[in-house]
Structure 1
Amino acid sequence: MRVIGLMSGTSYDAIDAAAAELDLVGDGLVLKPLGMVSEPYDEELRAALAAALPPGTTSVADVCRLDTLIGRAFAAAAVRADRELCDGRAEVVGSHGQTVYHWVEGGRVHGTLQLGQPAWIAEATGLPVVADFRPRDIAAGGQGAPLVSLVDLMWLRGRPGTPVALNLGGIANVTAPDGTAFDTGPGCALIDAAAHGFTGGRLAYDVDGALAARGRVCPALLERLLAEPYYALPAPKTTGKELFHVGHLREALAAVGTLSAEDVVATLTHLTARTVADAVRTLGATEVIASGGGTRNPVLTRMLGELLPGVALRRSDELGLPSDAKEAYAFAVLAFLTVHGLPGTVPASTGARHASVLGSVTPGRDGLRLPPPVGDGPVRLVLE
């Protein structure tokens, strides 16, 4: 089955569309990557999305407009992926959508909201669309994240030692072989916010870690940031830009006085490396297999390596799964599981009472013809 996975993460800079050929073979799910295309949000839509995210305020009218405009943008990415990567022969689309709010209180997740109306994708492609993956796990008592943990567990099963999967997106998360998975805290979210703010919007992120490379870590600011209670919470736990946004950074800066842009970004880069390294050590990792945009920041990866002596640090590309496309491929896998009636969660990872078949399905142009259920489903992910 050819499946397109659509993903836009907490950095909300672009929509990634990855296509995969997926087949069940024994107890394995064979994934043949067909490639990825990326569609940047246009500046007007990105600005509207940024204004609606915490700590900003919004209206129901704005949410409605964003749901439609993001849905159209996702639809355009899916059409392009089907044409360029699947020769027009894709069968299903899995769309994560754009997270705009993750409702967490007292360590419990009560709800989540991803925008990007799937009807636009179904109409444009003619294909059935699986979307709204996270709410079902939350309804079952889970955190609704990290959902890529199931893919990580299947993919890394059988590797020697204790391999830990790390995603360095806007928010960083880890998955260990025993199923433990959680968000460690900010990946690039605060770094991006500082780079954008200090350059008057000229930079969306710290390109090649250039700002951090010219700065020095400020111990007072680092200590203030590390005092955030989230880091001490037990797993499973999830977070987002509801907590780690520009207001969080401004509050910390107000307590330590004026610093240069370079020193602030260097400190935030060390914060990410430190909180990720702390999490990885608790998992007893012998190797870290990293993916996500943060892996392109050489200062961040250098700091992480220095904080994890003796732990091999490599990108997922080395194991055959493109780092930039990994999450999009993960949602292609989750969509495949859903249409086959198979669960897409690991209770040990999300804290749910049980595993769940995820998402809601929007029929395609020819209606909805789901494959027959296939028993217990795969336990291994094999890359072809």
Structure 2
Amino acid sequence: MRILGMISGTSHDGIDVAVVDLVERDGTLELALRHRDAVAYEPGLRSRIIAALPPASVDLAEVCALDTLIGQAFAEAAAAACDAAGAVDLIVSHGQTVFHWVEGDHALGTLQLGQPAWIAERTGVAVVSDVRSRDIAAGGHGAPLASTIDALLLAGRPGRPAALNLGGISNATVVDPESVRAWDIGPANALLDAVIVDRSAHPAGYDDGGALAAAGTVDEALLAVLLEEPYYRVAPPKSTGKELFHLDYVNDALRRSGREDIATNDLLATLARLTIVTVADALVADGVTEIFVSGGGAHNPVLLGGIAELTGAILAPTDALGLPGDDKEAVLMAVIGWMTVHGVPSSIPTATGARGSRLLGSITPGARPLAFPAPVTAPTALRVVD
């Protein structure tokens, strides 16, 4: 089955696209990556998305407009991918997260914009979307859904392997023969990017290669204040997002630590160290032996070097498992869609905290009547093939 997966992550800079062929053989899901792309948002749209994110207030007219505009952007990205890779049997769109509602240790709701009807209308292909809500309705966090693909990729590896995603938020999946555990750890690039944009520290809007943080010095007083965050002491499963970790959060920490005049590079060095310490604390406590890294932070040697030093674990990119780290989340969407139309629940209760595993997503029909494949037994492993 050929499936197009699409997602825009917490960096909200554009749409990651992956077209994959998926075939189940004797309990193993074989995956061939046929097309990959990253489609930047039009600058005006990206600015509107950023302006609507927490802690900003936004009216329903803007929510409606963004749902349409993001849906149209995803529709054009889907059409381009279909032109490049040929016809697909299914499209899976995560859309753009604009709010993840968490109170205490419970997720109560989540909102991803990008109306799937625009994708179905533009391509004529059925679309699976809204992939997080069912898990939340079942008492879970709807995150980290990366645990779905991580558990399959890491199945059978010795010791306690972990998959670590360093996106806007850091999240980890730890796999052993008895269980799969996953949770959002804390900020990875979210605070770094917010400061860089606010202070115009780099034209790219992020710390390219970690050079700015590498040039700074960690402010121990500020770091101590940042590490007081109660979220780090909440037991998994748990989830978080930019509803908590945003620019105002940084400015509040600067006021409380008396470091409001801190140099930009020193602030970035301190925020990078925050990510390093929180990730290392979480993974060392879980006894991980090897870590496979994906996300934008996988290209930041400051983060990787610090995590390797504090954990003592072997670090490698997800590419070492055959799956390019920059494409992992779009591929994840395709895998979830495959499982949904084959009748296979794809959420993992020990990872999300739900009462049980659930079929994920809502389906928007395309130009043809819906026709689903025969149900299959849940695969126990995933193998990337040429």
So what's the TM-score if we normalise by structure 1?
Answer: 0.97
Alignment counterpart, residue 285 of structure 1, candidates 288, 306, 323: 288
1:1-384 pair list within 5 angstroms: 1-84=1-84, 86=85, 88-177=86-175, 178-199=179-200, 202-255=203-256, 256-257=258-259, 258-309=261-312, 311-374=313-376, 376-384=377-385
Q: Distance in 2 between matches of 1:201 and 1:378?
A: 44
Give the match's secondary structure for 1:180.
strand
Deviations 1:63-116 (A, max 9, x none): 0000000001111111111121x2x22110111110000111121111000000
Give the match's secondary structure for 1:112.
strand
Distance 1:272 1:200, change over 3 A: closer
Following superposition, the deviation at residue 344 of structure 1 comes to 1.1
AA aligned opposite 2:263: S
AA aligned opposite 2:139: G
AA aligned opposite 2:121: E
Unaligned runs of 5+ in 2: none
Deviations 1:128-168 (A, max 9, x none): 10000000000000011011101100110011111100011
Following superposition, the deviation at residue 202 of structure 1 comes to 3.6
Give the match's secondary structure for 2:180.
coil
AA aligned opposite 1:65: A
Following superposition, the deviation at residue 35 of structure 1 comes to 2.9
Query: How many aligned residue pairs are there?
Result: 380
Answer yes or no: is the 8 Å Cα contact 2:20–2:35 preserved in 1: yes
Q: Distance in 1 between matches of 2:268 and 2:202?
A: 15
Give the match's secondary structure for 2:251.
helix
Answer yes or no: is the 8 Å Cα contact 2:232–2:278 preserved in 1: yes
Deviations 1:193-235 (A, max 9, x none): 1111111784411111111011000001100100000000000
Q: Distance in 1 between matches of 2:127 and 2:326?
A: 22
Q: Distance in 1 between matches of 2:291 and 2:168?
A: 18
Following superposition, the deviation at residue 295 of structure 1 comes to 0.6
Q: Distance in 2 between matches of 1:356 and 1:2?
A: 23
Could you list the structure 1 runs, at least 4 aligned residues long, displaced by more than 2 angstroms after superposition: 200-203
Deviations 1:318-371 (A, max 9, x none): 111001000110110001111111101111101100110000000111121111
Answer yes or no: is the 8 Å Cα contact 2:339–2:345 preserved in 1: yes
Q: Distance in 2 between matches of 1:333 and 1:200?
A: 38
Deviations 1:299-332 (A, max 9, x none): 11111122122x1000001111001000110110
Q: Distance in 1 between matches of 2:226 and 2:34?
A: 41
AA aligned opposite 1:98: Q
AA aligned opposite 1:22: L
Q: Calculate the aligned-residue CA RMSD, in Å.
A: 1.0
